[in-house]
Structure 1
Amino acid sequence: MATKIRLQRHGKKGKPFYYIVVADARAPRDGRFIERLGSYNPNTNPATIDINFDKTLNWVNDGAQPTDTCRAILAYKGVMYKNTYKVV
């Protein structure tokens, strides 16, 4: 099963709030997921990012592919730098 680390949109119209989740690549964006890793709130200044570092690092090392936006968030938090299994 190909897994992705991606954003799942919540919140009301014009006020997005995102959960960072691990999901099967074939699942819909806001559909079924395997595990919730954290949250991302772009409405605050600066944006609020809460993630479980250990769980996220474990999923990345197991081969879960982050989307472009999630990759930027994880790099900002230092998960991608700590990654021992580099996938480009």
Structure 2
Amino acid sequence: MAVRIRLTRLGRKKKPFYRIVVADSQCPRDGKFLDIVGTYDPLQDPATITIDNEKLQNWVGKGALPTTTVKSLLKKAAITE
């Protein structure tokens, strides 16, 4: 079972809001997940990214890999792996 740190979409049509979640790579985008690590709101100016560093480091330590999009969000939030 490969575990990924990825985005899941919430919000309405044309008003996206994302959660940064830890999920099995085989599950659908908006399906089951293991833990919520943070949020991303692209509609704010500037876009807001909130991350629970303790949870994130815990999951990365267990072997969870971030997707490329989440990796770029972590760079923007100035969080290193």
TM class by shorter chain equals: over 0.9
Q: TM-score, normalised by structure 2?
A: 0.92
Task: Please name the residue that 1:2 is paired with.
Answer: 2
- Distance, in Å, in 2 between the alignment partners of 1:78 and 1:53 is 11
Q: Does 1:13 align with 2:1?
A: no
What residue identity is the alignment partner of 1:2? A
What residue identity is the alignment partner of 1:59? W
What residue identity is the alignment partner of 2:47? A
**Pairs aligned (count):** 81
- Unaligned stretches of 5+ in structure 1? 84-88
Pairs within 5 Å for 1:2-81:
2-79=2-79, 81=80
- Distance, in Å, in 1 between the alignment partners of 2:55 and 2:40 is 16
How far has the Cα of 1:62 moved from its partner? Answer: 1.7
Kindly report structure 1 stretches of 4+ aligned residues shifted beyond 3 Å: none
SS of equivalent to 2:40: strand
- Unaligned stretches of 5+ in structure 2? none
Task: State, as a whole percentage, how many aligned pairs show the same letter.
Answer: 49
Q: TM-score, normalised by structure 1?
A: 0.86
SS of equivalent to 1:50: strand
